[in-house]
Each structure stands twice: as C-alpha cells, then as structure tokens.
C-alpha cells in the first residue's frame, strides 16, 4: 500500500505526464505530490548503457 511520506496517509492518486511520475496525496491537510522518479531513473541508466 502506498504511504505518503509527508502526512503518512494511504490515499493517493497515481499521476503521470511528460515530466512527472508519482502519486498525488489526497490527504485533506496535505495534497502534496510525491515523485517516484528515483527507481525509474535507475532503470533508464541501464537502458542507455545497453545502447
């Protein structure tokens, strides 16, 4: 289950576009965007190495 690192809430909405990958916290007092780019950047580096 996803957990917001800011408020600890478990209600998040997946959000993806050209520049952002992550979850939007639906906490009433939070509403922050939590990027999940770290894992994907690692996998992209491996792809570049293959090329």
Find the binding residues for Zn ion in span 8-47 (CB under 5 A): 9, 25, 27, 30
Q: Does 4 bind Zn ion (CB under 5 A)?
A: yes
| Nearest-approach distance from CB 1 to Zn ion, in angstroms | 13
Residues 6+ apart with CB under 8 A from 15: 21, 22, 23, 24, 33
Structure tokens at 2: 């996803």
Q: Does 2 bind Zn ion (CB under 5 A)?
A: no
3-state secondary structure of 30: coil
Q: Which positions lie near Zn ion, rule CB under 5 A?
A: 4, 6-7, 9, 25, 27, 30
């Amino acid at each position: 289950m996803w957990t917001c690192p800011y408020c600890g809430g478990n209600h998040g909405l997946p959000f993806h576009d050209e520049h952002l990958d992550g979850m939007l916290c639906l906490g009433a007092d939070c509403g922050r965007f939590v990027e999940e780019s770290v894992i994907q950047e690692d996998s992209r580096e491996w792809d570049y190495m293959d090329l």
